[in-house]
Structure 1
């Protein structure tokens, strides 16, 4: 098989099978239609390339990305090294009535991380568009919005070992392989592990080990410097007639799967190690879901860990159910859809669930004696600009917390800080007013936070250029405002600490 995969790789390179070239091939209008789940404009666009230098690329796009068959002769010319027989042997296509019929989805995927730009080819099972019907329960998902969110969240500092829990098509393991010496990728699906291993071979990645098993069972007794997981956290009714998709359903009731991962992670993190996972949590009755999440964090082994929980969105119970029923390929307006929606709402009603929150959970085993981080916050809305991913900002934020929490007030006053390069100041005036009615600090990266600040804090941030100490700046501002320096300093210090933790101010060595 290794020789066949090598030949496939060479053919894909020769055909220029890349994100950029596909975009050029079918154009912006067809690309937008594909994003909406419509492939006809793209199929029509590539029909004009059935001969000429882009013929091979058009054929590969037709079969592997759009999920449509192509004449065997055209398909063979697109893969001259692998050949049609080789593609059949690898399980990429089947030959039926003179046509090469796709059996998997294979497409280019591009990204930017702390090491720079990169591109891979990722194989997964055919989607609903190609199948023409709802997904089977053992479907192996390709790269989607959730997986790109998690890869963007990933800390990218070098580690000796990383664990991808529930690897699916292997995309997180591939990302981790760029900064980890060794990666272990687990899944309960043999099919997922087969595709993930194929993707690693196809992209020349050799430091990933694949293991079958549920959650942490395949790595019992081991510890890792990094754990990443897009676990099967989707809340699914436990009843007959409701599909239980392996890629998203962990077989537990409600949000118990997320609770289990959070509570178990402590046993598998090395000192200083970080776990990062996507998650959701139920809002029950009039209660706050974060109260329940705190309970997960403050009991058992998880109480030993730093924790930062970020809620990015909330859906009401009906909207949540509709989202995941459509995700499985069942369309609204059908009797199937209505039956599934009723089952979901019955399940939620049994536990008093009114809505479901989505977000990220970050856990860290702190170094001995380090201050503990407990941060649960809601950050709904747009993010800042994070070209290399949000993970770089999150890693910086953890380091900033450690520095700030370990620096007493006296030492902080003698420290030098600089405003982060992505921070801007914004002032609002009533027409004709001499002074501003509101002053804001905006963060261009990270979570795109906006802080409303008073005159003294705005002046302090503006003066933080890495030259003067915080104490000297506060004293100078007090003198200008004609207020007591000690009182103003005491008032400013908590805000300065918060700005350090959020990345607005950066300690200067």
Structure 2
């Protein structure tokens, strides 16, 4: 396995001059889209670079930067010199940003714009296997991939004082954290990752504390208001082929370690959010498995987004490292990996998001649920609101019957009717929340009638008594049956206290 022997030298002065060049050319998220046009930019995202290359030819210095960093092409020295000024080509080569290629120069690092609703940054990472033309080295620093973007969207952005980005990689989670955290600390076990993350932060003129070490060791005895983590969560035999994805721990032990230890580094009420994987083993419920990882006094929300077949899982990760599953190397690796899955009774690999909250001296709430449907809204705000709703239920658990509830305007009731002997008959009643992750709940006729009265005017106990009288039922029995449903709908934001806005 190859490693990168030389660390890039991304000093403050070098980053300042590179930033000047990028700003002059307009090399940012909006600038790239404007230069390429929507169609070419979309094609580039699909892995079709030729429309982007053609569009870049009329974009001057910005076009050169696009071809070098986004398309992996070599450019003549004069063109590169103009685009990188005031940073000289020789300085860029010495620093490890550029490399000689034929009669010109090409990128030695991946430096590309990455933006959010408030602006744009630059993220420094290593070239991927397609750009290199071979498998990536063991200490490869991944760019902003699907997993990183998923965690960004799943992270709460409420203001906090101290935030930890555990296993920062290229630093993209910490970049987003600077929007809402006063102090950001980022750690990694990889010296190369820390060097590239430092370049990311210097290039963007951001102050982030960087510490090297395994897992939580660099921040021992410290506490944070929030922890975010994109750990090396690939499951399988205990090996480290690539530091960005492999932990050296067997199975899903890396995810278990983070879930088990993270709450100990939170202040009371602090929140941790991470990506995680877990094994689906024959004869074992995945929810039972992950809840065993939790320390006491921890609120937890496990959201399963997907379950992968072992064969598909192995093939995906082989291609991730640039190995053809049909090659002798690919077949040998796949065989060993699948043997391990078989020996450990693994039927599938679950993947999703975990939200944790330190709940000292309070009875914790632990919920595991599937959320495999497609949805557009980010999960981060929903996770923060879920924690709010859990806390509200905890403090008002004995007052639910005295509370006036209302059904939000975003919740709809769907009915499925089937033909019967007496005409159309409703066979399915389903509540559907149209925002957030689009929660759905099937409900019975009594529940729909009870919810119809939830307009924020009468307390729940009055509605139960009226419904019980109309149906000839005992109010106490109806209330006992209704309360678990009410709690579940409150947790999912489908029923809210009338006092809530």
Q: Normalised by the size of structure 2, how large is the TM-score?
A: 0.90
Q: Is the contact between residue 355 and residue 383 of structure 2 (CA under 8 Å) also seen in structure 1?
A: no
- Secondary structure (helix, strand or coil) at the match of 1:296 reads coil
Q: Distance in 1 between matches of 2:492 and 2:322?
A: 40
Q: Deviations over 1:393-428 (max 9, x none)?
A: 11111110111122134x222223232343222233
Matched residue, 2:385: 396
Structural mapping, 1:93-112, within 5 Å: 93-112=98-117
The answer to whether residue 357 in structure 2 is matched with residue 341 in structure 1 is no
Q: Is the contact between residue 37 and residue 129 of structure 1 (CA under 8 Å) also seen in structure 2?
A: no
- After superposition, the CA RMSD in angstroms is 2.4
Q: Is the contact between residue 325 and residue 334 of structure 2 (CA under 8 Å) also seen in structure 1?
A: no
The answer to whether residue 73 in structure 2 is matched with residue 68 in structure 1 is yes
Matched residue, 2:84: 79
Matched residue, 1:171: 172
The answer to whether residue 202 in structure 2 is matched with residue 201 in structure 1 is yes
Q: Is the contact between residue 236 and residue 252 of structure 2 (CA under 8 Å) also seen in structure 1?
A: no
Matched residue, 2:277: 280
Structural mapping, 1:249-328, within 5 Å: 249-297=246-294, 302-328=295-321
Aligned partner of 1:498 among 464, 467, 488: 488
Aligned partner of 2:243 among 218, 241, 246: 246
**CA offset at residue 210 of structure 1?**
0.3
Summarize the Cα distance change of 1:62–1:379 in structure 2 as closer, same or farther, 3 Å threshold. Answer: same
Q: Normalised by the size of structure 1, how large is the TM-score?
A: 0.89
Aligned partner of 1:6 among 16, 24, 27: 16
**CA offset at residue 85 of structure 1?**
4.1
Q: Distance in 1 between matches of 2:255 and 2:221?
A: 21
Aligned partner of 2:402 among 414, 418, 421: 414
Unaligned 5+ segments in structure 2 are: 1-10
Q: Deviations over 1:109-150 (max 9, x none)?
A: 1224xxxx3322111101122111111111100111101111
Summarize the Cα distance change of 1:447–1:219 in structure 2 as closer, same or farther, 3 Å threshold. Answer: same
- Secondary structure (helix, strand or coil) at the match of 2:382 reads helix
Q: Distance in 1 between matches of 2:238 and 2:17?
A: 45
- Secondary structure (helix, strand or coil) at the match of 1:266 reads helix
Q: Distance in 1 between matches of 2:321 and 2:425?
A: 56
Summarize the Cα distance change of 1:205–1:508 in structure 2 as closer, same or farther, 3 Å threshold. Answer: farther
Q: Distance in 1 between matches of 2:198 and 2:452?
A: 52
Matched residue, 2:160: 159
Q: Is the contact between residue 404 and residue 497 of structure 1 (CA under 8 Å) also seen in structure 2?
A: yes
Q: Distance in 2 between matches of 1:271 and 1:484?
A: 42
Q: Distance in 1 between matches of 2:404 and 2:224?
A: 35
Q: Distance in 1 between matches of 2:100 and 2:453?
A: 70
Matched residue, 2:128: 127
The answer to whether residue 326 in structure 2 is matched with residue 365 in structure 1 is no
Matched residue, 1:232: 232
Matched residue, 2:30: 20
Q: Distance in 2 between matches of 1:344 and 1:290?
A: 24
- Secondary structure (helix, strand or coil) at the match of 1:429 reads strand
- Secondary structure (helix, strand or coil) at the match of 1:364 reads strand
